[in-house]
Amino acid sequence: MGQFDENGGIYLNILKSGTVTTPRGFMAAAAAAHIKYADKKDLTLIVSENECAAAAVFTQNQVAAAPVIAGKETMQAHSGHIRAIVANAGNANASTGRPGLENARATQKMVADSLNIQPEQVLPLSTGVIGVQLPMDRMQAGIETAAGRLSADGGLEAAQAIMTTDTHPKHLAAQVELSGNTVTIGGMAKGSGMIHPNMATMLGVLTTDAQVEANLLDEMLRTAVSHSFNRISVDGDTSTNDTVILLANGASGVTITKAENIAVFQDALTYICTKLAHMIVRDGEGATKFVEIQVTGTKTEADAHAIANTIATSPLVKTAFAGSDANWGRILAAAGRAGIAFDQNQAALWIGGAAPDELQLVANGTPTNYEEADAAAIFARPEFKIRLDIGAGDAATIVWTTDLTHKYVSINADYRS
């Protein structure tokens, strides 16, 4: 059973065990294609019973993986007719040249042949090691196996099959009322390292049984991603393969056109994306802390985002988090090199949770009379907030990040072995 959570004045029926197949008309299955892993399912199919409007956001890394290139090409011409997504883990099919792009396209055709649809109705996703060609014979076998096992109950194994260094699958769904009718949004994501705005080593698949026109769907997805997946950072690295896809198949019979329904659906979609983004940060490679960084008092939201990102990716700040050392000077120093002009004598800094749980460390650029033990106790929590106000305006933003531990180094020192 779900629980009712409030989000921006609306109530969503949150289904924590929900998946991408919770919305009506979607099926999924996973298979062990042995692409890299000998003992896990590493290929998944997500299929709609009918054509979907689709929207997608891709990595801004100039070294884009072959499935990103193929996905962009497909979306440009066929965003109103998508039927399936194929995703594999263990091999990124990135920096693989023309053969890699041909393999991505061949993967689309393999899926199309297995499902009796067209290649341009398939979007490919890959995650894993860069610079290795896909084993196409194994891809073929995995696709055929998954196609024969499609089920409305396959959403959980789909989320499990895209994991790499993730320690657990990331998924949920929510139901929302629109003019007295219920529509459902489901989602899954993977990501643990190479996580940073624009986007991260992350794949995200969102589904809904609402009917939404493709251009509107694209606008809503970009808004949701801007306030969720592009507000997280684990290590400051942006991957070659980042992709978030949203499919709308209209199986609920509810068409979203009214302004009030658009606003409610947008809030629900952003909520789902934010929760998935938080799951990624909490599962960050080697992470022991989940830290919310609020920057307020800037002239523009972009200024606040620039400062918050600089703090969130500072190795000195993140190692202070890891050591439970309330070395707030590192936070101010990071803010000061973000490229945003402000008067340090106007800066104020708090740590903790929501008021009155906050402890003010800095006022008007000057240390307060706080107790060091109190500050250290907050930094020792597994979850806490940092709020920095620079006193220059009314804009603000929030980002979420982790600490940087020895385990992160260990995981990434032998990732290919």
Q: Enumerate the active-site residues.
A: 201
> What is d(CA 4, CA 23) in angstroms, rounded to the nearest whole number?
18
Q: Identify the bridge partners of residue 279 per DSSP, sorted by sequence position.
A: none
> Residue 6 corresponds to which tokens in the numbers above?
């409030």
What is 157-187 written as a DSSP string? Answer: HHHHHT-SS-SS-EEEEEEEEETTEEEEEEE
Q: How many residues does the chain have?
A: 417
Positive or negative, the Cα torsion across 391, 392, 397, 398? negative
Q: Identify the bridge partners of residue 365 per DSSP, sorted by sequence position.
A: none
How far is Cα of residue 19 from the mean position of the Cα atoms in its chain?
Answer: 15
Helix, strand, coil in percent for the chain, rounding step 5: 35, 30, 35
Q: Helix 97-115 vs helix 136-147: angle between axes, to the nearest 10 degrees? A: 20
Is 28 strand, coil or helix? strand
Cβ–Cβ under 8 Å, residues 362 and 347 = yes
Q: Identify the bridge partners of residue 154 per DSSP, sorted by sequence position.
A: none
> What is d(CA 210, CA 389) in angstroms, rounded to the nearest whole number?
40
Cβ–Cβ under 8 Å, residues 334 and 309 = no
Closest CA relative to residue 121, chosen from 165, 182, 70, 184 = 70
Positive or negative, the Cα torsion across 112, 242, 282, 274? negative
> What is d(CA 231, CA 295) in angstroms, rounded to the nearest whole number?
12
Closest CA relative to residue 74, chosen from 88, 64, 85, 63 = 85
Cβ–Cβ under 8 Å, residues 60 and 244 = no
Find the farthest-apart pair of alpha carbons in the chain and give their distance in angstroms, rounded. Answer: 70
